[in-house]
Amino acid sequence: MNFKGAFKTAFFALVSVCCGLLYGQHLDTLYYEKGLSIRALHLEGTTLYYGGSKGRVGTLDLGRSKAHRQVLVDSTGAELRSIAARGGVLYTASIGSPARLFRVEKSSLKAHKVFEDTLKSAFYDALHFTRQGVGIALSDPQGELPSLLTLDGGTETWKRIDPKSLPPYRTGEAAFAASNSNISSYGDTIWFATGGSSARVFRKKKDSPWEVFPTPIVQGSPSQGIYSIAFFDSERGIIAGGNYLKPEENEKNIAVTHDAGETWQIVASGSNAGYTTFVSYRPQSKGNDVLAVGDYHISLSRDGGRTWKVLLKSKGYYVGVWESPTSLIVAGNGLISRLDLNPFLQSK
């Protein structure tokens, strides 16, 4: 008898029961590794890529085989909280100074360092590629100077964006490295979100300078602000966050825009599940359905964020990626799981 396999099967079943509560039957645990923290996901076909703690990048086949591979990318063991892909290559960046950005071949998972950031403030929060192949890497600021790298569509060299070309940060303002989702893009427009002393949205339109816009999201302390941003189209978007030290607080932590991020309106204040690390529009829902993941919940809105229903109450999920319009892959504290949304989409 394969005792190791039997133990894993039993453990996965226990996790689903304990974490899922009323909706556990719709949550399928795909992979578990004690001590591994996953805050960045990328999916292509049936292959899931993740950036994790201990300096590791891994892949999981979501098809029949469930084959898993994992490699040490950063020998220092630094956490890799960001991941993004272009062509046959993944990029991932570490937190902490000096911070390193790595190029990882998808097929072999062979990695090599392509950029090292020696700024004392270096701490990479997110990586993102636009559909045009432009890469953005977001780090914590150097004082009031923003710190971003870019990879142009036709090159393989990451370069620092002139910090003076962006509006300055305010003292105590920074981004969060919670789910690799505080950068979003649509067409030629890029947005990223901040928190701390100020919760604001920065925007770059093609051939236009960077701009910044205030938001009404809760802000003022280092643990408050925007943790995730998503845009459905060039005008409609959503931001979510809160206070990770007080995850039960649910006032002024979700807002929407209908003018490309220039103005934001608070929604569901006092009537949502609280602190949220990841938010995303469900594919093929015309911008009506939004999924939110937080340290203690997975929630669904069917009206663009105005009202919410908690689908799952569990601790330890931080990030998600769409496998299909009815299936969300979620990950976090040692777990990668699949959430089947069909029962919730069919219910009134």
Q: DSSP for 212-229, please give it.
A: EEE--S--SSTTEEEEEE
Burial of 14-44, coded b for 16+ CB within 10 Å and e otherwise, reads ebbeebbeebbebbbbbbebeebbbbbbbbe
Check residue 25 and give its pLDDT: 54
Query: Which CATH number do you get for residue 178?
Result: 2.130.10.10
> What's the N-to-C CA distance of the chain in angstroms?
46
> Which phi and psi (to 5°) does residue 343 adopt?
-60, -35
Q: In this structure, is residue 196 part of a structural domain?
A: yes
Check residue 11 and give its pLDDT: 43
Residue 95: domain span: 7-346
- Whole-model pTM: value is 0.92
Mean pLDDT per 10-residue interval, the chain, length 348 residues: 40 44 70 97 97 97 93 95 96 95 96 95 97 95 96 84 97 97 98 99 96 99 99 99 98 99 99 98 98 96 98 93 98 97 85
Q: What single-letter DSSP state applies at residue 282?
A: P
Q: In this structure, is residue 113 part of a structural domain?
A: yes
Looking from the CA of 185 toward its CB, the CA atoms found within 13 Å total 19
Identify which of 59, 102, 107 has the alpha carbon closest to the alpha carbon of residue 87: 107
How many domains, the chain? 1
Identify which of 273, 271, 275, 274 has the alpha carbon closest to the alpha carbon of residue 307: 271
Looking from the CA of 72 toward its CB, the CA atoms found within 13 Å total 6
Q: In this structure, is residue 1 part of a structural domain?
A: no
Q: In this structure, is residue 341 part of a structural domain?
A: yes
Q: In this structure, is residue 2 part of a structural domain?
A: no
Check residue 137 and give its pLDDT: 98
